[in-house]
C-alpha cells in the first residue's frame, strides 16, 4: 500500500479509550499512535508528549489560528485537538495511524478524511460507565452527571461510525479492533485502487518512451 490507513477511535468519556489504546500499542507496535493536544491538566501518571501535548489556552488558540490542528473541540471546558502535520506525514510514509479523540473531534476528522475507519468504543452499560467515572476519584458528582448526560448524546451519534466495539474486557476489545484493522487492509476496493495506480503508472511510463 502506498499510504497508511487512518483509524479513529472515539467514544464517551470514561469508556476506556486511553486504556485500550495503551494495550493496542503493546499488541500492535507497528500501529502509530497520534498524540493529541489538550488544555486540561495532566492526571496522575500522565506525561507531556506521551499521553497528550499539554498546552495553555493561549498556546492552543495560537495553534488554531495557524491551522496547525487537523481538528479541535472544546469539551467540558477544555480544548482537545489533533496536530495536522504528524498525521499526514505518517500516512504518506505508508504507516497506519490511530487517533484517540473525543466524538466531536472524530466527526470533524471524518469531514476531512472520509476514507478513514471510524470505531466507536461502547461501554457495557451506562451504569458501568457511571461506575468507571466515579472510580477515577478526580471529579465532582456534578461533573460526573454532566459527563453521563453528554455520553448519552454521543452514543446517539453511533450511526456516523463504521464499527462499534464494546469495551467489556480490554483484551477482547483489542482483539476486536485488531480484527477490524486486518479486515480493512483486505478490502477489495483497496487492492483495486492499488492495481489501478500501478497500471496507470505503467501506461504513463510507456507513453514517455
pLDDT band at residue 196 using 50, 70 and 90 as cut-offs: low
Q: Where are the domains of the chain?
A: 6-34+96-207
Bridge partners (DSSP) of residue 75 are 78
Q: Check residue 206 and give its pLDDT.
A: 41
Mean pLDDT of 43-72: 92
What's the pLDDT tens digit per position in 122-140? 998 888 887 877 776 666 7
What CATH number has the domain spanning 6-34+96-207? 3.40.50.300
For the stretch 159-190, pLDDT in tens is 999 999 999 999 999 999 999 999 999 988 87
Amino acid at each position: 500500500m502506498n499510504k497508511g490507513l487512518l483509524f479513529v477511535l472515539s467514544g464517551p468519556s470514561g469508556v476506556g479509550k486511553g486504556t485500550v489504546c495503551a494495550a493496542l500499542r503493546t499488541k500492535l507496535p507497528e500501529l502509530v499512535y497520534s498524540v493529541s493536544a489538550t488544555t486540561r491538566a495532566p492526571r496522575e501518571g500522565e506525561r507531556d508528549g506521551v499521553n497528550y501535548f499539554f498546552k495553555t489556552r493561549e498556546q492552543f488558540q495560537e495553534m488554531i489560528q495557524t491551522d496547525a490542528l487537523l481538528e479541535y473541540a472544546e469539551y467540558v471546558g477544555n480544548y482537545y485537538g489533533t496536530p495536522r502535520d504528524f498525521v499526514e506525514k505518517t500516512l504518506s510514509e505508508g504507516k497506519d495511524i490511530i487517533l484517540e479523540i473525543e466524538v466531536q473531534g472524530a466527526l470533524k476528522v471524518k469531514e476531512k478524511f472520509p476514507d478513514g475507519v471510524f470505531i466507536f468504543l461502547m461501554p457495557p452499560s451506562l451504569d458501568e460507565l457511571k461506575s468507571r467515572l466515579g472510580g477515577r476519584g478526580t471529579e465532582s458528582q456534578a461533573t460526573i452527571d454532566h459527563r453521563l448526560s453528554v455520553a448519552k448524546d454521543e452514543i446517539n451519534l453511533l450511526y456516523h461510525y463504521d464499527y462499534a466495539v464494546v469495551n467489556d474486557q480490554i483484551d477482547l476489545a483489542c482483539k476486536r479492533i485488531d480484527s477490524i484493522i486486518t479486515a480493512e487492509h483486505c478490502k477489495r476496493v483497496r487492492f483495486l485502487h492499488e492495481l489501478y495506480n500501478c497500471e496507470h503508472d505503467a501506461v504513463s511510463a510507456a507513453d514517455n518512451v
